[in-house]
Amino acid sequence: MTAKPAALLHSSQTDGKATKPLSLTEKVYQSLRHEILRCKLKPGSELSEAELAARFEVSKTPVREALAALRLDGLIRTFPRRGYQVAPITLGDINELFDLRTIIEAGTAELAAKRITDAEIEELSRLAKASYDPGTERTLDYFIDANRHFHLAIARASGNGRLVKLLERQINELERFFYLGATLRDVNTETNKQHQEIVDILASRDPEASRAILTSHNNATRHGLLMALAMNASDISL
User: What pLDDT score was predicted for residue 5?
Assistant: 42
Gap between the Cα atoms of 182 and 180, Å rounded: 6
> Cα(107)–Cα(135) distance, rounded to whole angstroms?
35
Angle at 219 between CA 129 and CA 45, to 5 degrees: 90
Q: Which CATH number characterizes residue 42's domain?
A: 1.10.10.10
Is residue 105 domain-resident? Answer: yes
153 with 231, same domain?
A: yes
Q: What is the pTM of this model?
A: 0.81
**The predicted structure's pLDDT at residue 236:** 54
Cα(32)–Cα(13) distance, integer angstroms:
18
Other Cβ atoms within 10 Å of 183 Cβ, number? 18
- pLDDT at position 31, please? 95
State residue 64's pLDDT score. 94
- Give the Å distances, CA to CA, from 230 to 110, 235, 237: 33, 10, 11
What is the total count of domains within the chain?
A: 2
**Are residues 126 and 70 part of one domain?**
no
- Per-10-residue mean pLDDT, the chain, length 238: 39 51 92 89 92 95 95 89 88 92 97 98 97 90 95 98 94 88 92 98 98 97 90 62
- Containing domain of residue 152, as a range? 91-236
The confidence score (pLDDT) of residue 201 equals 98
